[in-house]
């Protein structure tokens, strides 16, 4: 059973999971501010050349209560969705999707905060692979919709479940009880879906 589970993901998926786990450990799940600050999205520093910050927030994960639910949940979806794409198209194809979706979702989250507040506090920290996960989900869903020969499977109930969770995130944020990166989720889903349509139409990817 363990062998079958391990075979579901290729080396790129495993590497992305490994980096996420490692970053969670060295940042103490985001509680070590000094180390966490090395991975955060900071537009001023990005403009100064620290381009890695466009991507690195996807590797940050935080505790929910005292449990690593944020990390576990995202890694499970990445293993399943990312692993399926990698098995079908290869590791560099998956990495390209992750980078495009990750940058789009991170920028969306940052600039949504700026749009809503008029500024972004230097203490504003967000992160997680969930924007990418939503993007991979959107990619598979739209690719299958426009390319009937696309081989990556997707259970029909998964999209409904994730859309419900997306809406729930906006509801929970409106209460002020929690902080969920809803813009990253939404734009990640849209970006992934757009990539799914484009690659299905061009037939070159």
Q: Which of 29, 61, 84, 185 is catalytic?
A: 185
- Residue 105 token pair: 């979702």
- Residue 177 token pair: 């009880």
CA distance 126 to 111: 12
- For residue 46, give every residue at least 6 positions away whose Cβ sits within 8 Å of its Cβ, in sequence order, or none: 53, 54
Residue 61 annotated to the active site: no
Rounded (5°) CA angle 157-82-136: 60
Residue 52 annotated to the active site: no
- Residue 7 token pair: 């075979």
Q: Which of 24, 70, 130, 174 is catalytic?
A: 130
For 37-146, where are the alpha helices, taking DSSP H only?
Answer: 43-47, 69-77, 83-89, 91-117, 130-146
Ramachandran quadrant class, 87 (left: phi over 0; alpha: psi -120 to 50; beta: rest): alpha
Give catalytic residue positions. Answer: 130, 185
């Amino acid at each position: 059973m363990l062998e079958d589970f391990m075979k579901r993901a290729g080396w790129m998926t495993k590497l992305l999971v490994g980096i996420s786990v490692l970053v969670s450990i060295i940042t103490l799940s985001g509680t070590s501010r000094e180390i966490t600050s090395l991975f955060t999205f900071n537009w001023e520093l990005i403009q100064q050349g620290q381009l890695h910050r466009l991507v690195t927030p996807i590797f940050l994960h935080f505790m929910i209560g005292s449990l690593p639910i944020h990390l576990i949940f995202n890694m499970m979806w990445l293993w399943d969705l990312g692993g399926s794409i990698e098995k079908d198209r290869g590791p560099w194809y998956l990495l390209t999707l992750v980078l495009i979706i990750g940058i789009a979702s991170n920028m969306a989250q940052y600039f949504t905060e700026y749009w809503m507040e008029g500024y972004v506090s230097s203490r504003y920290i967000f992160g997680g692979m969930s924007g990418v996960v939503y993007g991979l989900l959107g990619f598979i869903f739209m690719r299958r919709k426009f390319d009937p020969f696309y081989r990556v499977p997707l259970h029909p109930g998964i999209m409904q479940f994730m859309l419900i969770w997306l809406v729930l995130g906006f509801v929970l944020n409106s209460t002020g009880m929690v902080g969920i990166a809803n813009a990253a989720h939404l734009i990640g889903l849209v970006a992934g879906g757009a990539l799914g349509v484009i690659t299905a139409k061009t037939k070159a990817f």
